[in-house]
Structure 1
Amino acid sequence: MYKNEVYLGIDTSCYTTSVAAIDREGRLVGEARRILQVKQGGRGLQQSEMVFQHTRNLPDLMQELFTKPLKIVGIGVSARPRPLENSYMPAFLVGLGLARSLAAASEIPLHEISHQENHLEAGLWSAQGPDADRFLLLHASGGTTDLLAVEKRADGNYELTQAGGSKDLHAGQFIDRVGVALGLQFPAGPALERLAATADDCIEVPVAVRQGDVSLSGPATAALCKLESGADPAALAAGVQYALAETFVRMIRNVAAQKEIFDVLLVGGVASNSYIRSHLIEKLAKRRIRVWIPESRFSLDNAAGCAAYAFRQGESRYE
């Protein structure tokens, strides 16, 4: 039986188990993902619970992915949160363990990257750019609010350098704290976006930006105080979205001017918010900063970036 040759991607992040397959033409031939379950009213999961759910989810997702005949020729996996020497989180060991086992048993190449690099690779693959030697990457999610300067190395891979970001609360934490207070299920991003879309007004929430550094704990506290004072839930949700969007605009604008880099790629769950995306495109265009946007599902946690990275590494051997 003919089997389509593919590169397998595996990502076991804090709140999503995901696998994906990209063929030797760079096309996605299948993916499967499952969001980890958080009890109603909860604000997160312990690492042990993440490991348990990933361990339970991966066999189901692999069976779902391999309902069609596929032959794995390379594997990419998220092995740690960030591309830093001491970056570590137990949740990623589940995906890494499966990837190492498959690679050893099948005698195929294994390519380890970080979860942040997985987002970068997924964004580049989906948005088809930026095709530049230098650009900015905004990674905004529940566990990260980073603005990174990205530089292409001679080997075709990328060097990521911190250029800005939050000094306290992350963007997703801001959304979740307000969202849970509003009675929304954790993680609250999608529900808060839907609630904001029904608003007739937008309650002002402060923005705190200094060059590339931002603070979100103060704005979050202010938003919660407004809720306690009887603020309209939908209008407050709209205010949170606006505050985050404007925070990102000012941070990117400042760093872009300082470093003379005028392309920015958006990735992460918070960066998948359609209002935030539109706000950034409109405001940054006035500064001639081009915004690159992957398809929303590839901005969220997914394994396509790992598969795309393995594809780039594998197919370079045949050039």
Structure 2
Amino acid sequence: MLPVKVGTAGLRQSDALFYHIKHLPDASKNLMKEIDYRGKLLAIGAATRPRPIEDSYMPVFMAAKSYGETLSNLLNIPFYEFSHQEGHIEAGLWSIKREIEKAFMVLHISGGTTELLKVTTINNRYDIEIIGGTGDLSAGQFIDRIGIKLGLPFPAGPSIEKLALNWEGTTAIETPIAVQGNKVSFSGPETFLQRKIDNTVSNEEIAFSLLQCVGKSLYSLLKNTINNNPVEDLLIVGGVASNKQIRNTLNNLSNEFKINLHFGDIKYCSDNAVGISVLCLKNYLRRKQLDC
């Protein structure tokens, strides 16, 4: 994990890029102790932008692009570029051993993203259309901001989940849900819960109520959007999707709507790298097949 100062919500892009460049040599050294790559490394894949669209850019992704392309040139092997979002989608499907050929819906919920997507698979790549999502904070930012206010380390998701599990009450604080059509807002609920922290409410109750609010907000967002976008499958991925309380809330969707609901395996919800690896393998094999 990259170093984040206590009381802060993540890193600036310039700092994140610096730490990637600083730590990658050590990471690669440790990796090579376990892998004999000589003559066996056939292709390199990397996430080089946030989303698979032309204008998508964040400086931190330049570390992966620079290292990946340089190694590709030195070893004379192909370099495949993907987006961070494609990595999460592929990791989710791979983790549950599914291939979905028809258009399907994806709820991508993480530290920086809360987007509802309509996805079509084309030649081992994903054509993605944004059909809904947040108008301000992502679900992950909402969780992290409340967590930091409670004095928890960043990212706050795991600590928030532990606190929520220790809440012995049966009901949550009635936190406002701000969903209109295909847009969800978390800034109002954040302000509401921030004020509750200043009162005599336990951290456990705050954490439980926070996750309940996130789950109900996303449920309402999906409910508003599913009817206008008829698909058979809904995949939920991203770091926030690993939270069991949120999963339990969203599980009711499959009962209310005729839709196949898929959650990425908890272990791989936040593991973007495994998705990029699978996409790299698929595209390498496809290119090899076309060359034959």
Q: TM-score, structure 1 length as denominator?
A: 0.85
Query: Residue type of the partner of 2:42?
Result: V
- Find the residue that maps to 1:108 and give its secondary structure: coil
1:72-91 correspondence runs (5 A): 72-91=41-60
Q: Counterpart in 2 of 1:41?
A: 7
SS at match of 2:176: coil
In structure 2, the residue matched to 1:29 is: none
Compute the RMSD of aligned alpha carbons. Answer: 1.5
Instruction: Tell me how far apart the structure 2 counterparts of residues 303 and 255 of structure 1 sit (CA, whole Å).
Output: 29
Structure 1 residues 231 and 262: alpha-carbon distance in aligned structure 2, compared to 1, 3 A threshold: farther
> 1:83·1:116 contact (CA, 8 Å) conserved in 2?
yes
Task: Tell me the residue number matched to 2:205.
Answer: 235
8 Å CA contact 1:138–1:265 kept in 2: the answer is yes
Q: Relative to total residues, which structure has the larger helix share, 1 or 2?
A: 2
Asked if 1 retains the 8 angstrom alpha-carbon contact of 2:106 and 2:236, the reply is: yes
Aligned 1:1-319 pairs, distance under 5 A: 35-66=1-32, 67-70=34-37, 71-129=40-98, 131-153=100-122, 155-201=123-169, 202-319=172-289
Tell me, yes or no, if the aligned pair for 1:256 and 1:262 is still in contact at 8 Å: no
CA distance 1:130–1:314, change in 2 (3 Å): closer
Cα distance between partner residues in 2 of 1:290 and 1:279: 15
> Is residue 91–residue 271 contact of structure 2 (8 Å, CA) maintained in 1?
no
Amino acid at match of 1:115: H
Aligned 8 A contact 1:130 1:265 in 2 = no
**How big is each residue's C-alpha offset from its partner over 1:213-260, in whole Å with a ceiling of 9 and x where there is no partner?**
111111111111111222221111111101111111121222221111
C-alpha distance after superposition, 1:190-217 (max 9, x if no partner): 1001100000222221111122111111
Q: d(CA) in 2 for partners of 1:260 and 1:229?
A: 44
Change (3 A) 1:130 1:290: farther
Residue type of the alignment partner of 2:10: G
1:132 deviates by: 3.3
Higher strand share: 1
Q: How many aligned residue pairs are there?
A: 284
The residue identity in structure 1 corresponding to 2:35 is: K
Q: Residue type matched to 1:192 in 2?
A: I
- 3-state SS of 2:43 partner: strand
Contact 1:130/1:292 (<8 A) preserved: no
> Share of identical aligned residues, percent?
38
190-199 vs 262-271, greater mean Cα deviation: 262-271
Q: In the TM superposition, what is the alpha-carbon distance from 1:279 to its structure 2 partner?
A: 1.9
**Structure 2: which amino acid aligns with 1:122?**
A
In structure 2, what is the Cα distance between the partners aligned to 1:147 and 1:133? 17
Corresponding residue SS for 1:303: helix
State the Cα distance separating 1:78 from its structure 2 match. 0.6
- Which TM-score applies when normalising by structure 2? 0.92
Contact 2:124 2:283 in 1 (8 A): no
